[in-house]
């Protein structure tokens, strides 16, 4: 019996697929420049808003976000997501810096991303300047009333380090002058206490405990009204000033 030869041919097709939404030639966005201050002075006791403006050189396949971070020793101290304005190539925002942000040199890192394909980053230096600032909660205090030969007080003063460097603090006082201007109580009669413990009399400058960044304390002021013919203090209202001075220390 004759045989027939059957030839079977199998054809295999390989199809190439491209990711949806990424056409040929698509590229990541590219930043042009970043406008930011090279030096920043913080706001005493508050938050400093630092304006950032980014100019985009190329939106690429689509610009989804621009993030700015302030970095030092691997730690992020502030960050903001910028927003586009009327011009899609100009993005703006504000970094919010606390008054306790340590002084020194930082890296400002700006990253643009399309959210899918890639990103582009720019880096520049920003210096946070030292800020020595001391504040008090009270602007005035009253000792109340008493007769001669007695203590007035305590008048309490709350004070705090409002900057980004440790502070050395000193207290001085002026004479307390009678309302008619014809009598006074000298600073030697003003005693300063902390937690009930006397620090000294204000006849000489009194050195307080150093304040670390973000810390504070409460002073208790006691005024002694002397008696006796040689130190007679007439009744009435007496007014004086107590000054707290400070300077930054390393």
183 lies in the same domain as 107: no
User: Is the domain of 159 the same as that of 189?
Assistant: yes
- Residue 230 in any domain: the answer is yes
For 152, how many CA atoms within 13 A lie in the half-sphere containing its CB?
A: 20
Residue 187 C-beta-side C-alpha neighbours within 13 Å: 17
Decide which of 109, 128, 147 is a domain's last residue: 128
Taking only the tens place, the pLDDT of each residue in 39-61 is 999 999 999 999 999 999 999 88
User: Do 138 and 92 reside in the same domain of the chain?
Assistant: no
Say if CB 45 and CB 135 are below 8 A apart.
Answer: yes
pTM equals 0.80
Spatial neighbors of 14 by CB under 8 A, at least 6 apart, are none
Residue 52 located in a structural domain:
yes
Q: Three-class SS of residue 187?
A: helix
At residue 127's C-alpha, the angle toward residues 34 and 134, to 5°, is 130
175 and 216 fall within a common domain:
yes
In the chain, how many domains are there? 2
- Alpha carbon 70 to chain centroid distance? 13
Same domain for 47 and 92, yes or no, is yes
- Residue 42 C-alpha from the chain's centroid: 6
Residuewise pLDDT in 10s, the chain (250 residues): 333 322 233 333 333 333 333 344 568 899 999 999 999 999 999 999 999 999 999 998 889 999 999 999 999 999 999 999 999 999 999 999 999 999 999 999 999 999 887 789 999 999 999 999 999 999 899 987 766 668 888 999 999 999 999 999 999 999 999 999 888 889 999 999 999 899 999 999 999 999 999 999 999 999 988 766 556 778 888 899 999 999 999 7
Q: Are residues 157 and 196 in the same domain?
A: yes
Final residue of a structural domain among 128, 161, 187: 128
Structure tokens given for 214: 């973000």
Among 78, 106, 128, the domain-final residue is: 128
State which H helix or E strand residue 177 sits in. strand 176-178
CATH number of the domain within which 156 lies: 2.60.40
The rounded distance, in Å, linking the Cα atoms of 180 and 243 is: 23
Instruction: Annotate 51-84 with b (16+ C-beta within 10 A) or e (fewer).
Output: ebebebeebbbebeebbbbbbeeeeebbebebee
Domain annotation covers residue 15: no
Q: How far apart are CA 74 and CA 107, in angstroms?
A: 10
The span from the CA of 157 to the CA of 175, in Å, is: 18
Q: Is residue 233 located within the same domain as residue 204? A: yes
In a shared domain, residues 72 and 97: yes
Task: Give 122's Cβ-side CA count (13 Å radius).
Answer: 18
Domain co-membership, 104 together with 144? no
- Say if residue 120 is in the same domain as residue 57: yes
Q: Mark whether 139 and 49 lie in a shared domain.
A: no
Same domain, 143 and 56: no
Assess if residue 5 is contained within a domain. Answer: no
Output the domain CATH number for residue 113: 2.60.40.10
Q: Domain of residue 105: give its range.
A: 30-128
Respond yes or no on whether the N-terminal peptide bond of residue 154 is cis (omega within 30° of 0).
yes
The verdict on residue 71 lying in a domain is yes
């Amino acid at each position: 019996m004759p045989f027939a030869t059957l030839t079977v041919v199998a054809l295999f097709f390989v199809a190439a697929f491209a990711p949806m939404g990424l056409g040929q030639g698509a590229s990541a966005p590219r930043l042009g420049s970043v406008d930011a201050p090279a030096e920043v002075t913080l706001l005493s006791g508050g938050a400093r808003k630092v304006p950032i403006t980014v100019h985009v050189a190329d939106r690429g396949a689509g610009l989804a976000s621009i993030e700015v971070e302030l970095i030092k020793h691997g730690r992020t101290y502030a960050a903001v997501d910028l927003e586009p304005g009327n011009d899609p190539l100009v993005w703006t925002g504000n970094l919010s810096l606390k008054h306790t942000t340590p002084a020194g040199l930082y890296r400002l890192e700006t990253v643009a991303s399309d959210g899918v394909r890639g990103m582009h980053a720019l880096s520049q230096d920003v210096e946070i300047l030292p800020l020595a600032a001391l504040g008090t909660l009270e602007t005035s205090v009253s000792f109340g009333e008493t007769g001669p030969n007695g203590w007035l007080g305590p008048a309490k003063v709350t004070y705090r380090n409002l900057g980004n460097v440790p502070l050395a603090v000193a207290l001085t006082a002026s004479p307390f002058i009678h309302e008619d201007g014809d009598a006074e109580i000298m600073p030697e009669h003003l005693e300063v206490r902390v937690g009930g413990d006397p620090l000294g009399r204000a006849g000489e400058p009194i050195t307080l405990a150093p304040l670390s960044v973000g810390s504070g304390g409460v002073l208790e002021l006691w005024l002694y009204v002397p008696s006796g013919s040689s130190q007679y203090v007439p009744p009435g209202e007496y007014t004086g000033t107590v000054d707290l001075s400070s300077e930054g220390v390393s």
